[in-house]
Amino acid sequence: MKYLIGNWKANKTRQEALDWISEVKQKNLTLEPGLTVILCPSFIHLLLFREAYPELPLGCQDLSPYGDGAYTGEISARMLKSLVQYAILGHSERRRYFQESSIQVAQKALQAIDNYIIPIIAVDRQNWRQQLIALDEAVRKQSILMYEPPEAISEQTGPIGKGTPASLEEVKQMIGAIREEAEPLAVIYGGSVKANSIATFLKEPTIDGILPGSASLNAAEWIKMVTTANQIIKVSR
């Protein structure tokens, strides 16, 4: 199984999301067996996608570390489970801007799993062992883990990263170490992946998928990524 998971982050109005859906649906993309394509828009667009593009599996970009209750502003996993099948947790931007700890990420992962949502948990190069240690062994085995070097991420609001993906050798080395330590459902790579670079990572047997961010916002770029991923899967069979 290979994964292509788009992360919209904090982008797009309702109309912009509808335009994206319209352009992508016009292509009638058919996926090869063995390829799972997931999109993670913002919370406010989840119901829109469920109604306008129900065949596309969805993920959320975060969820509450708590269950239902008096947690103003939070969105619990139980509230999300009818809309999403996946949840991105511990993204480097969450850790950096919102000071999320590995303990909080672990709490969120438990909430996700308890509500039949598969966590996609990000870990970085410097702290990956500590980030994995914070997770219960059962959680690690029920999660997709993502190697995400923050320095590879390109931001619209300021230069934390260089905006180019990590080298294939670095990604292979880190994914191998993470897989050996955690034995998760899958290990994927995220960090400035675009249509012209996804083949580098998807063709590598030890890499289970990719999570592009800004590239997934552009419908034409997304279509290219899905098409490329399909071709790679087809040739590899």
Write out pLDDT tens, residues 200-232: 999 999 999 999 999 999 999 999 999 999 999
Question: pLDDT band at residue 154, thresholds of 50, 70 and 90?
Answer: low
pLDDT, average across residues 76-81: 98
CA distances from 144 to 2, 147, 211 (A): 11, 10, 11
pLDDT band with cut points at 50, 70 and 90 for residue 153: low
**Mean pLDDT in the chain?**
94
Q: Report whether pLDDT(56) > 70.
A: yes
Q: How confident is the model at residue 159 (pLDDT cuts 50, 70, 90)?
A: very low
Given a cut of 90, is residue 48 above it in pLDDT?
A: yes
CB 125 within 8 A of CB 183: no
Give, as one character, the DSSP assignment of residue 12: -
Tokens of 113: 């799993």
Predicted confidence at residue 151, as pLDDT, reads: 80
- Residue range 2-236 forms a domain whose CATH class is alpha beta
Which range of 27-31, 38-42, 190-194 scores highest in mean pLDDT? It is 38-42
Handedness of CA 60, 61, 65, 71 (dihedral sign): negative
CB 211 within 8 A of CB 146: yes
Question: pLDDT per residue over 85-106, tens digit each?
Answer: 999 999 999 999 999 999 999 9
Percent of the chain with pLDDT over 90: 90
Q: Who's near 138: CB < 8 A, 6+ residues apart?
A: none
pLDDT at 160 over 80: no
Give the span between the Cα atoms of 68 and 77, in whole angstroms: 8
| Catalytically annotated residues | 91, 155
CA gap 140, 89 in Å, rounded: 12
Share of the chain above pLDDT 70, in %: 95
Residue 197 has pLDDT above 80, yes or no: yes
User: Which 3 state secondary structure label does DSSP give 217?
Assistant: helix
Name the 3-class secondary structure at 153: coil
Collapsing DSSP to helix, strand or coil, 86 comes out as strand
| pTM for the structure as a whole | 0.94
Comparison of pLDDT for 155 and 181, the residue scoring more = 181
Count of other CB atoms within 10 angstroms of residue 80: 23
Separation between Cα atoms, residue 130 and residue 132, nearest integer Å: 5
